[in-house]
Chains A and B, each alone.
Chain A
Amino acid sequence: MSEAGDEPTDQFTQPDSGGPTVEFYGGRGMSAFPIAFFIVWAIVQTALWRIGDTGGLIVGILVGLIVGMFFARGDWKHYANTIFEGMTQPVAVTAIVAWIWAGMFAQLLQDGGFVGGLVWLADTAGVGAALFPAITFVLAAVFTTGIGTGYGASIAFVGLFFPAGVLLGANPVLLFGAILSGAIFGDNLAPVSDTTIVSAVTQDADIGGVVASRFKYVIIAAVLAFLGYVVAGGAMDGIEVGAQAQEIFLEESDAIGLVHVISMAAVIGTAIAGRHIVEAISWGIVVAVAFNLVFGLAGLGDIVMFNAPQDAPLAGPLESLPILTIVEDPDAVGVGGSLMNGVAGFLELSILVLLIIGAAQIMIRGGAFDVLLEWSIENLATNVRNAELTMVGTAALINAIITINTAAEVAIGPYISKIGERFNLNGYRRANILDGQTAAMGYIFPWSGGVLAGYSAMQQLPDDYSWFEQSMLVTPIDVVPYVFQGWLLVAVFIVAALTGFGREYLIDRESEEVARV
């Protein structure tokens, strides 16, 4: 017990954290310039002018980075090196790998008639346009929970379920929202999801316990989101696909394409067995190629095709190969097929993401990130309820700003633990608050990684289906209100912070040993 005079009051102090490594004219806040410039550019380009061109966004972030450099103090070498530091982070590369692998996988299934199989199944089972988004949400949630990558699932489902749903008359915006919602569900809950792992590790909690303890928040949001998609599916009309085109596609739709359910199961099965996501999707690719060839769904030339010019030295003698075609038109020279087409859509996006992560690193090293978080800790986290609301708010804000949600989560993880430990919230609660916002905000805004990935996949559809017109593409800004799982998950955590629902203190239960990765 202490004497009254010894009672700690104003003299209480906390250790200082390290300072920024890149200084800016105008203060630490100016280090947010490149990211802020990019977000304004993205809003103007995609929302106000309705140009969904990834190349344009690359120019936007480049201009932001170049102009931002003029505000950096001292040797600009540090500024440049910080961009490299950000671009070489494993999280950025992980996202790119997931996109490219999932892109190839989805394209193989698409070319193997899986969409036709889905349409056949929905038609036969009498699943109408109204129910299609809700069912898509559930299947995307299951698929993502199995494979752990919401980005990969967004790409696969936009390539496969989206055209099937549009053809059946479902509302495209709602359908895209349902796919993103399913991706959020799985990204948040899957034990193999990178965001689940980061949330557990940064909060010193075991992954199994984190998944079990977050189930309550996820499932409440999901039940409401499902009902939302059922109701909205009945209320929102689809777009008119030419009746003749619809009829032709329906006639061509064949149950055999559904064999690729096994290809998807191969991915889920290997991922659940604890294999790396690259290995899991690679198995899916191998199975899909085998099915395409065995069942005659696609030939070898549909999978990889070399289009060589007439004067190529070895082209003539090998022309009989099924993967080689001699083309007369110089513009037709190139490599094509499912694998190439699957990768091609994500090359620009990969460059964009690397640059954004570089700009995010400028913001972190320049101190704008610290300014925001220090201010919120000092001024907002005054009691446990406000502390939890601050954790929800800052995690949501940072994830809304930084395109790749895993990168945002890595950056904000220490702050969440700092605020949470101050009020002795246990690791599970902290990890759940952190990852709820991370998963949700990664799939809502036009510059979010999940939306960009899905939209990139969607832009390939007019080339894949003659009936799919440019006007059927969903402008990313339009989907924002319809990502029900994302908004509801944030809402569930706000209510949980206000009411104490699901709150656990360290004195209630401590997280078990964390499995470090």
Chain B
Amino acid sequence: MSIFGKYLTGWTFRANRPSLEVGSEIDVFISETNGSAGRAYIGDTELLVEGAGPETVEKQVRVRVTDFDETTATGEGDLVEVVGESSYSG
């Protein structure tokens, strides 16, 4: 992206519940887990991530989106891999 483009990015009103595209791969932080599946919040959109155990909590993971319901803003996906750490160190 050009420098000028960076200045123009984000002059918009972004939804509280963003849509996810089924089949796409997205990188998100997992906030909670029950041991076998994790949950990520993208704004108020909830994504259930199969295979995201305790080792993924507060880590950035790649998820393949398998299902998404526009009306309830909830989706499901499969864990692909852990891709990053949290910048929160405390």
Contact = CB atoms under 8 A, between A and B. Distances in A.
Interface of A: 1-2, 6-9, 11-15, 17-18, 202-204, 208-209, 212-213, 215-216, 383-385, 414-415, 417-418, 421-425, 427-428, 499-510
A384 B90 contact: no
Contacts of B34: 6-9, 11-12
Contacts of A428: 10
- Is chain A's binding surface mostly helix, strand, loop or mixed? loop
Interface in B42-80: 42-44, 48, 50, 54, 57-58, 60, 66-67, 76
A30 to B, nearest CB: 21
A216 B14 CA distance: 15
18 contacts: A1-B76, A8-B39, A13-B33, A14-B57, A17-B90, A208-B3, A208-B6, A209-B6, A212-B6, A384-B16, A418-B58, A421-B58, A422-B31, A424-B40, A427-B87, A504-B9, A507-B27, A509-B9
A384 B31 contact: no
B13 to A, nearest CB: 5
B42 A424 contact: yes
B11 A384 contact: no
B37 A204 contact: no
A6 B38 CA distance: 10
Given A1-B50, A421-B87, A505-B42, A14 B6 contact: no
B7 A212 contact: yes
Which one of B10, B38, B89 has the highest number of Cβ atoms from chain A below 10 Å of its Cβ? B10
A424 B87 contact: no
Nearest to A373: B90
B88 A12 contact: no
A216 B35 contact: no
Q: Interface residue tally of chain B, by bracket? A: 35 or more
Contact of A7 (B20, B29, B37, B89): B37
A383 B6 contact: no
B18 A504 contact: no
Nearest to A18: B90
B43 A423 contact: yes
Contact of B27 (A15, A208, A503, A510): A510
A360 B58 CA distance: 28
B32 A421 contact: no
B42 A421 contact: no
Contact of A14 (B15, B32, B43, B66): B32
Contacts of A425: 43
A418 B58 CA distance: 8
A213 B7 CA distance: 6
Contacts of B76: 1-2
A424 B44 CA distance: 10
Contacts of A418: 58, 86, 88, 90
Given A500-B16, A505-B14, A7 B90 contact: no
Given A8-B48, A14-B58, A423-B43, A414 B32 contact: no
Given A17-B90, A505-B43, A508-B14, A8 B7 contact: no
A383 B16 contact: yes
Nearest to A501: B13
Given A8-B33, A503-B13, A508-B14, 20 more contacts: A1-B67, A1-B76, A8-B48, A11-B34, A12-B34, A13-B57, A14-B31, A14-B58, A17-B90, A213-B10, A383-B16, A385-B16, A422-B29, A423-B42, A500-B13, A500-B14, A501-B13, A505-B14, A506-B42, A509-B9
